[in-house]
Structure 1
Amino acid sequence: MTANQLSTRGLELRYGAKAVVQDLDLELPGDAVTAIVGPNACGKSTLLRGLARLLDPAAGTVALDGADIHRMPARALARRMGLLPQQPVTPEAITVEALVRLGRFPHQRLLAPWSAADQAAVEAALERTGTLPLRDQHVDRLSGGQRQRAWIALALAQDTELLLLDEPTTFLDLRHQLDVLDLVADLHTDAGRTVVMVLHDLGQAARYADHMVVMKDGRPAAAGPPGEVLDAELVASVFDVDCRIVPDPETGTPLVVPRDRAGRRTAAAPA
């Protein structure tokens, strides 16, 4: 078994009486970038909350490297797993550096002073995310892309080998989406982080992920390398979109091209 491998067995996640994820058996590879995709309300973010122990299972288990995460002490789990939620709430009037320092909380001991190792972890997180020049600025005054990088820096300062990111590109323009996804890719290739992230854009998920989980109605419709699982039949079944799958001209990864539904196709367009 590779390190940082998350798995579920018979997992059921509920909000009140409503079951959102049901009877889920899933293996997410360690030492990889996994993208969880699917239509709205299919259970993507709910699944991530279950994997992060933010939502208790109604049935079944979530395991990290074979150990039930619900049997782990909270601090021990926080030293292994970092989470960036979909819309993190920024404490009022906090600077970037003060926010990133919060990531060291799982490593603090009662009455122990802030250490050189703590500060080194903060400095490394600021540098890797390009937020060193922003360290004294208030987070609530940053652009969306800058703010997202500051929150990723907090997760990095936590110094975990596994990062869970819930729609890290939401509300960002295309340039900042790519900035964040490039950063995620670098964290994997250069820093050895295992990443599990929820994404909406299928092309971006295929380009940046080693492994893809396609959710439909609370269950995986497909899972595996993007080039093997993403095809027109799957997109039609899960997203109700008629499309062609073509190679991305930059990376060769699958690119979803919806077919023209309004008769706007030009004579030069392929059938």
Structure 2
Amino acid sequence: MSPTPTSTPTSTPTPPANQLSTHGLDLRYGDKVVVGGLDVTLPGGAVTAIVGPNACGKSTLLRGLTRLLAPAGGSVALDGADIHRMSARALARRMGLLPQQPVTPDAITVEALVRLGRYPHQSFLSPWSEADQAAVDEALERTGTKELRDRSVDRLSGGQRQRAWIALALAQDTELLLLDEPTTFLDLRHQLDVLDLVADLHTEADRTVVMVLHDLGQAARYADHLVVLKDGRLAAAGAPADILDADLVKDVFDVDCRVIPDPETGTPLVVPKGRTARRATGDPAVPA
């Protein structure tokens, strides 16, 4: 008599490290629903760009992902654990945030600003240590702000100031960085400098990055994964080459375009149709 076969017990797969996910997430300001019923996964070990038209909920979603805005419904999980069940200090040791247009304390030097990133690691029983200073020095080195450490932040250029704030986030020594429009108000050279820095942090320092961007070409060039929002809901998510096409751009941004390979990188490049072609299709943004 042959033995009765035994079934192998199944186990729930462990999410990748630094994976953020939302489940039925509702975010509101007062009675206004800005993000509604959102189910999305932001992969760990990748650079994710959140894109979409103005007022679609990009920055609001980032606030929800970092617990700056409490959900009206649903949940946010980090590696499968509800972030609202974590202590503030424990969460700050897992993720660093660069908010949109951060407010710089008066007359603070670059190094003093970056030292603030060590706050989650401090307590009354653990004063400033060699490890804390080493983390600050490494953050200054990685962001190219070492020579600026004694300069007042309010005397820096826009690109230098943005690097100083990224250094603060790095000094937290987290594996997950969230950046809200890190290229806003920067000229093209400084935009590329900041995005190159983000790419280096991902490839060389193994950081998982989530950032809100406006420029679709930059998002496609620098991100492994796109999350596209429209009116607070998910329009598409996936690798740029898999999801970014003319139909998606028309549906989400109401722009007629061609999507072609970027001649430098081969990633998708959005080229809006000319004024004459858009007028011929009845584009209301083009006067007759």
* Structure 1 residue 263 displacement after superposition: 6.3
Listed as ranges, the matches of 1:20-35 within 5 Å are: 20-35=34-49
Q: Work out which of the residue numbers 11, 16, 19 in structure 1 matches 2:33.
A: 19
> Which residue does 2:275 correspond to in 1?
261
Q: Which runs of 4+ in 1 moved over 2 A?
A: none
Distance 2:131 2:108 in 1: 22
**Aligned positions of 1:193-204 closer than 5 A:** 193-204=207-218
**Paired residue type of 1:45:** S
Structure 1 counterpart SS, 2:53: coil
Q: TM-score, normalised by structure 2?
A: 0.91
Q: For each residue in 1:184-207, what CA deviation from the matched residue of structure 2 results, as whole angstroms up to 9, or x when unmatched?
A: 000000000000000000000000
Shift of 1:111: 4.5
Aligned counterpart for 1:114 among listed residues 121, 125, 128: 128
Distance in 1, matches of 2:98 and 2:208, equals: 14
Q: Deviations over 1:103-133 (max 9, x none)?
A: 0000001143210000000000000000000
Taking the aligned partners of 2:127 and 2:255, their CA distance within structure 1 comes to 56
Aligned-partner Cα distance in 2 for 1:106–1:113: 12
- 1:45 paired with 2:56, answer no
What does residue 62 of structure 1 align with? Answer: 76
Structure 1 match to 2:12: none
Matches within 5 A, 1:83-162: 83-162=97-176
Q: Which residue identity lines up with residue 242 of structure 1 in the other structure?
A: D
For residue 17 of structure 1, what is the amino acid of its counterpart? D
Indicate the SS of the match to 1:235. helix
1:234 aligns to 2:240 (yes or no) = no
Distance in 2 separating the partners of 1:263 and 1:88:
41
Name the residue aligned to 2:183: 169
Q: Structure 2 CA distance, aligned partners of 1:122 and 1:150?
A: 11
User: Is 1:187 aligned to residue 206 of structure 2?
Assistant: no
Q: State the one-letter code of the partner of 1:124.
A: E
Q: What amino acid maps onto 2:106 in structure 1?
A: E
How many residue pairs get aligned? The number is 265
| Letter paired with 2:221 | R
Cα displacement (A) at 1:262: 3.8
Structure 1: segments with no counterpart, 5+ residues: 265-271
Match for 1:246 among 260, 266, 269? Answer: 260
- How far 1:221 moved relative to its partner? 0.3
Deviation for aligned residue 1:224: 0.1
Amino acid at match of 1:159: D
TM-score of the superposed pair, with normalisation by structure 1: 0.96
2:223 to 209, 216, 231: 209
- Bigger radius of gyration: 2
1:152-206 alpha-carbon deviations (Å, 9 max, x no partner): 0000000000000000000000000000000000000000000000000000000
How far off is 1:21 after superposition?
0.2
What percentage of aligned pairs have identical amino acids? 83
Deviations 1:225-266 (CA, angstroms, capped at 9, x unpaired): 0000000000000000000001000000000000002469xx
Match in the other structure for 2:87: 73
Separation in structure 2 between the aligned mates of residue 204 and residue 263 of structure 1, nearest angstrom = 25
Question: Amino acid of the residue matched to residue 232 of structure 2?
Answer: G
1:251 is paired with a residue whose SS is coil
Matches of 1:75 and 1:262, distance apart in 2: 56
Corresponding residue SS for 1:179: helix
Could you say what secondary structure the match of 1:130 adopts?
Answer: coil
Moved more, 188-197 or 104-113: 104-113
- Seen in structure 2, the aligned counterparts of structure 1 residues 104 and 258 have a Cα distance that, compared at 3 Å, is same
Q: Residue deviations 1:40-72, cap 9 Å, x none?
A: 000000000000100000000000000000000
Separation of aligned partners in 1, 2:43 and 2:124: 35
> Offset at 1:149?
0.1
The Cα of 1:93 is off from its aligned counterpart by: 0.2
Which letter does structure 2 place at the counterpart of 1:235? V
Letter paired with 2:169: A
